């Protein structure tokens, strides 16, 4: 079980001024921030970051959305980080995410769902590399 993970506060949440409130939740839970950076993703970075979704019908929209404004990338450390953070962000479709989760409390969208978090060690490595954080 990995003790590190990556979250991205997505452009919709950055534009709405939610960066501090979202990151606070993870600090409150007990995660420690190892690295934090505001990034304007290029098309190339987005293509790499979301390479597992290449060819899916929502891919083009996703790349357009994630490059539409700055994101805030945070590498965090804490016990069982990947699974624990996935639970805290809620389901991909924010309209179905439970209250108390980040998406449940801050979003209604599917593409614009406020936050991304690595779903595996392999994704964490690919994503941090795509963002130039490793």
Is residue 116 part of the annotated active site? The answer reads yes
**Structure tokens given for 41:** 């993703």
- C-alpha distance across the termini of the chain, in Å: 20
CA distance 94 to 92: 6
Q: How far is the CB of 76 from ligand CMP (least distance, A)?
A: 16
What mask, x for binding ligand CMP by CB under 6 A, covers residues 63 to 102? -----------------------------x----------
| Among residues 107, 113, 114, 118, the one that binds ligand CMP under rule CB under 6 A | 113
Which residue carries 């979250």 as its tokens?
A: 7
**Structure tokens given for 63:** 């790349």
Query: Should residue 107 be labelled a site residue for ligand CMP when binding is judged by CB under 6 A?
Result: no
Question: What is the DSSP code (8-state) at residue 91?
Answer: -
Share of the chain residues as helix, strand and coil, in percent rounded to the nearest 5: 45, 20, 35
Q: How far is the CB of 98 from ligand CMP (least distance, A)?
A: 16
Query: Could you list the residues that contact ligand CMP (CB under 6 A)?
Result: 53, 58, 62, 92, 110-111, 113, 116
């Amino acid at each position: 079980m990995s003790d590190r993970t990556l979250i991205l506060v997505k452009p919709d949440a950055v534009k709405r001024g939610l960066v501090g409130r979202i990151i606070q939740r993870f600090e409150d839970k007990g995660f420690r921030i190892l690295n934090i950076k505001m990034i304007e993703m290029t098309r190339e970075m987005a293509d790499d970051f979301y390479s597992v979704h290449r060819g899916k019908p929502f891919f083009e929209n996703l790349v357009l959305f994630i490059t539409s404004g700055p994101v805030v990338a945070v590498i965090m450390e804490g016990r069982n980080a990947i699974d624990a953070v996935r639970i805290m962000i809620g389901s991909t479709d924010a309209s179905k995410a439970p209250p108390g989760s980040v998406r449940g409390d801050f979003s209604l969208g599917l593409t614009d769902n406020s936050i991304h978090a690595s779903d595996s060690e392999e994704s964490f490595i690919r994503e941090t590399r795509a963002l130039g954080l490793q």
